Amino acid sequence: MLFRNDAYMRDATGTVLALTEEGGIVLDQTIFYPTSGGQPGDSGRLVWDGGAMEIATAVKGEGADIILVPAEPAPLPPVGAEVRQELDWERRHRHMRVHTALHLLSVVIPLPVTGGSIGADKGRLDFDMPEAPEDKDALTDALNALIGRDLWISEQWITDAELDANPGLVKTMSVQPPRGSGRIRLVRIGDEDETVDLQPCGGTHVTRTGEIGRVRIGKIEKKGKQNRRVYLHLD
- pLDDT, one tens digit per residue, over 185-223 is 899 999 988 899 999 999 999 999 999 999 999 999 998
- Long-range pairs for 124-127: beta carbons < 8 A, 24 or more residues apart: 124/229, 124/230, 124/231, 124/232, 125/229, 125/230, 125/232, 126/223, 126/227, 126/228, 126/229, 126/230, 127/227, 127/228, 127/229, 127/230
| Mean pLDDT of the region 72-95 | 97
| Mean pLDDT of the region 126-135 | 89
For residue 41, is pLDDT > 90? Answer: yes
For residue 175, is pLDDT > 60? Answer: no
Domain locations in the chain as residue ranges: 2-87, 92-234
pLDDT of the residue at 163: 74
pLDDT of the residue at 30: 98
Query: 2-87: what fold?
Result: Elongation Factor Tu (Ef-tu); domain 3 (2.40.30)
| Mean pLDDT of the region 52-75 | 95
CA distances from 105 to 98, 99, 127, 159 (A): 10, 10, 11, 26
Amino acid type, 20: T
Question: Mean pLDDT across the chain, nearest whole number?
Answer: 92
Query: 92-234: what fold?
Result: Threonyl-tRNA Synthetase; Chain A, domain 2 (3.30.980)
In angstroms, rounded to a whole number, what is the distance separating the alpha carbons of residues 159 and 185? 9
Percent of the chain with pLDDT over 90: 76
For residue 225, is pLDDT > 90? Answer: no
Query: Which residue, among 155, 153, 154, has the nearest Cα to 210 in the 3D structure?
Result: 153
| Mean pLDDT of the region 161-186 | 69
Per-residue pLDDT band for 174 (boundaries 50, 70, 90) equals low
Query: Which residue, among 157, 163, 173, has the nearest Cα to 115 in the 3D structure?
Result: 173
